[in-house]
Amino acid sequence: MKPLFFFFPLLITAFAACVVEPELHPSPEPERMHAFSDTIDGKSVDLFLLRNENGMEVELSNYGATIVAIRTPDKNGKIEDVTLSYDNLTNLRAGKSYFGCVVGRFANRIGGAQFTLDGQEYTVPKNDGDNALHGGINSIDKQVWKARKMNDAVRFTIEIPDGANGYPGKMNVTVLYSLRIDNSLVIDYTATTDKTTVVNLTNHAYFNLSGDPSKQILDHVVKMRAKQFTPVDSSLIPSGELRDVKGTPFDFMNAKSIGTDIQQPDEQLLRGKGYDHNFVLNASNEEAAVEVVEPRSGRKMEVFTTQPGVQFYTGNFLNGTEKGRGTAYQFRTGFCLETQQFPDAPNQPNFPSAVLKAREQWKGQTIYRFSIQR
Ligand code: GLA
């Protein structure tokens, strides 16, 4: 018989493995899983969980390729959801505010719901006054995507048929969500088409870093590397101008709280009912385009992106009709940082092109990185 000390190293290794190894296939809580699972048109809808060694968790649904929850620690180590989200798939399906989903094929607005491409005019559905918003009704945010779970990532794919919602070209979209050890949620997008089309893909997550979604987000401190923004008309369509933020309420070059200037009698703020504008990003690759800190919890979120713009939206249309997490989400209880091509790019010759040609691939990456600022 082997002496006991022979087994000690093995026991210690096994114990260490339990302590430091990431959980490769964590499962959502059974109740959450149940609330978010169903079969829609013969397609299975499931809830996926990513968890890293720090206890940060991200829940994802293949309905709309949606972020259902992001749980991160505050300065005392308390882990809470920092998104506005629903409690079940029924509410997610009925939702009208785009909580956490991927929007496309053309996120944000297209003025007059029409554009010309290669000399041909396209008309797309009007779902925001006279304009098209977020790809139209029943777009990819209201579809079941194919899903593949990997160790620290989930990949969602969808094929948008040629002509769906009036847009040309069969488009294949992939969205890969990965959770890193440094508390970064990395979102990689790719799109291909078989005909010239337009593309603008983003995630529409609403954040409230306090962890308490019944509180307004006005105390959150924002720093944005954007020297210009794109002013809009009364229906939130850009005029085409790139306006300097300097001397306006849109200047977040130096950190300031969202509430600092939001009440100013500024024409642009009045049109947006707050911030609901595209900012022209100037950050280099290594720099965060946007940094947000919620002082009481100490939670910080940095946004890195390859995209040229970001829609900073301060939840101005929230009015208590969307419910979840024990609350009815009220005016300005969440903010979005939708990294994107510029709104109405298909009609704006001065804006970066959002055209995607057959056999080309469009790629984008956005990272939301969470940490603590004491
Ligand atoms: C985007 C738009 C807003 C609003 C929300 C959804 O952020 O810019 O105007 O439509 O989506 O409510």
Answer yes or no: is the C-beta of 232 below 6 A from any ligand 1 atom: no
| CATH no. of 31-372 | 2.70.98.10
Please state the three-class secondary structure of the chain as a single string.
CCCHHHCHHHHHHHHHHHHHCCCCCCCCCHHHHHHCCEEECCEEECEEEEECCCCCEEEEECECCEEEEEEEECCCCCEEECECCCCCHHHHHHCCCCCCCEECCECCEEHHHEEEECCEEEECCCCECCEEECCCCCCHHHCECEEEECCCEEEEEEEECCCHHHCCCCEEEEEEEEECCCCEEEEEEEEEECCCEECECEECCEECCCCCCCCCCCCCEEEECEEEEECECCCCCECCCCEECCCCCCCCCCCEECCCCCCCCCHHHHHHCCCEEEEEECCCCCCCCEEEEECCCCEEEEEEECCCEEEEECCCCCCCCCEECCEECCCCCCEEEEEECCCCHHHCCCCCCCEECCCCEEEEEEEEEEEECC
Closest ligand 1 atom, CA of 133?
10
Predicted pLDDT of residue 226: 98
Binning pLDDT at 50, 70 and 90, where does residue 76 land? very high
Find the 330 Cα to ligand 1 centroid distance in Å.
15
**List 57, 59, 134, 204, catalytic entry:** 204
Query: Using a 6 Å cutoff on CB, does residue 317 contact ligand 1?
Result: yes
Please determine, for residue 180, whether its predicted confidence score (pLDDT) is greater than 70: yes
Decide: 293 in ligand 1 pocket, CB within 6 A: no
Mean pLDDT value across the chain: 94
pLDDT of residue 260: 98
Counting from 1 in the atom list of ligand 1, the atom nearest the Cα of 343 is 8
Active site residue 338: yes
The residue whose CA has the least distance to atom 9 of ligand 1 is: 276
Domain boundaries, the chain: 31-372
pTM: predicted TM-score of the whole model, two decimal places:
0.94
In the residue annotation, 204 being an active-site residue is answered as yes
